[in-house]
């Protein structure tokens, strides 16, 4: 997945901080806008857990399918990978609040 081609990151219009962001999806879910919630990296950095909250869904697009869930997973993995490689990610342990380093 390529940011700017397969998806776009934008300011979250419903966010309560300047760091809040939303994603505009690409084909085949063109113009679906939403944000990721409750993102967790599980199993030692091997899996992702998240909730996708739609903010705008064009008429006629059905998000209640496994293909959309897979697309959301792939987009989120791409975002995390890109930000990790650029040093833009901070990871914390959900239970302790301590910083976790993934290399």
* Low-confidence stretches of the chain (pLDDT beneath 70): 44-45, 87-90, 102-103
pLDDT in the model for residue 57:
96
| Whole-number Å distance between alpha carbons of 40 and 77 | 11
The pTM for the full model equals 0.80
| Whole-number Å distance between alpha carbons of 39 and 51 | 7
State phi, psi for 83 to the nearest 5 degrees. -70, -35
């Amino acid at each position: 997945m390529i940011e700017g081609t397969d998806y776009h990151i934008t300011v979250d219009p419903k966010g309560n901080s300047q760091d809040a962001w939303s994603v505009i999806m690409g084909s085949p879910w063109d113009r679906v806008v939403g944000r990721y919630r409750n993102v967790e990296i599980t199993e030692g950095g091997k899996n992702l857990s998240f909730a996708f909250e739609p903010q705008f869904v064009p008429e006629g697009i059905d998000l209640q399918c496994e293909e959309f869930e897979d697309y959301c997973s792939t987009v989120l993995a791409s975002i995390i990978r890109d930000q990790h490689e650029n040093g833009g990610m901070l990871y914390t342990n959900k239970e302790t609040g301590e910083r976790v380093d993934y290399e």
